Chains A and B, each alone.
Chain A
Amino acid sequence: QITLKESGPTLVKPTQTLTLTCTFSGFSLTNNAVGVGWIRQPPGGALEWLALIYWDNDMRYSPSLKSRLTITRDTLKNQVVLTMTDVDPVDTATYYCAHRPAGSGFDVWGQGTVVTVSS
């Protein structure tokens, strides 16, 4: 059974760096063509894809946020970490991590973690 769980701060001040961790189980991020992604949803807004990291350590980013995002993995700890620099109140959202198998969309999602950016 695949599970994912997000963790990180609930409140971040503007201009700070946000670090979120996705801890997963039930699969290995070294399996061929498997990926883990981050997606967010602002209050009342749409889903927005942020970043993906794949089994071969290939990393992909949303073009609009690429300059502020870094995604990394720890295959021994079964974790994926997303950092977002220079946060702003518009980055207030529920942040999800999700599993992406080969040739598919995100089939299993974490429960999400709410992040508020405010001074």
Chain B
Amino acid sequence: EIVMTQSPATLSVSPGETATLSCRASQSVSTNLAWYQHKPGQTPRLLIYGASTRATGIPARFSGGGSGTEFTLTISSLQSEDFAVYYCQHYRDWLGTFGQGTKVEIK
């Protein structure tokens, strides 16, 4: 079973700054990796798939990178609407395990 570990659990960032979130897989998932944004009372929103491809309508300030077991989500010039919980998910072997999430909060 592949385990996804996200760090840090909470990230405090000022608006306008850059946030870098990490996701580590216990085994290689190649680039079968997605990132989601989840706000309270809303449904999760797909941001990135294939480790680095932005989903439809996602602003360019969101970028994903990595392959194998180490991945990052970078949010440049944080806007007020970007404060949320972010999850990574692998989908190797047709599965769908999520990480435990990183909360990005206002500093």
Docked complex Cα distance between A63 and B49 (Å): 23
* Chain A, residue nearest B50 (CB): A103
Given the complex of chains A and B, what is the CA–CA distance between A96 and B89 in angstroms?
A: 15
B46 A105 Cβ-Cβ under 8 A: yes
Q: Quick check: which of A44-52, A76-84, A85-93 contacts chain B, the rest being far away?
A: A44-52
Taking a contact as CB atoms under 8 Å apart, the answer to whether A109 and B44 are in contact is yes
In the complex the two chains form, is B94's CB within 8 Å of A48's CB? no
Contact A104 B94 (CB under 8 A): no
Could you say which residues of chain A place their CB within 8 Å of the CB of B44?
Answer: 39, 47, 96, 106, 109
* Residues 38-80 (chain B) with a chain A CB within 8 angstroms: 38, 43-44, 46, 49-50, 55-56
B16 at interface by CB-CB < 8 Å: no
A62 interfacial by beta-carbon distance below 8 Å: yes
A-B contact count (CB 8 A): 70
Q: Are B87 and A47 in touch, CB under 8 angstroms?
A: yes
Whether A73 sits at the interface, judged by CB under 8 Å, is no
> For the complex, is B97 an interface residue (Cβ under 8 Å from A)?
yes
Of A46, A63, A64, A111, the residue contacting B98 (CB under 8 A) is A46
Residues of A with C-beta under 8 A to B43: 96, 109-112
Contact B55 A107 (CB under 8 A): yes
If A96-B43, A111-B43 touch, whether A49 touches B49 (CB-CB below 8 Å) is: no
Find A49's partner among B89, B93, B100 (CB 8 Å cutoff): B89
Q: Write out the residue numbers on chain A whose beta carbons fall within 8 Å of the beta carbon of B8.
A: none
Contacts of A106 in B (CB 8 A): 34, 36, 44, 46, 89, 96
| Other 8 A-B pairs with CB < 8 A, given A54-B94, A105-B36 | A60-B96, A62-B97, A96-B43, A96-B44, A104-B46, A105-B35, A106-B46, A107-B56
A contact residues vs B (CB 8 Å cutoff)? 35, 37, 39, 46-49, 52, 54, 58, 60, 62-64, 96, 100, 103-107, 109-112
Ordered by A's residue number, 10 sampled pairs between the chains whose C-beta atoms are within 8 Å are A39-B96, A46-B98, A47-B44, A49-B98, A52-B95, A103-B50, A104-B49, A106-B44, A107-B55, A111-B43
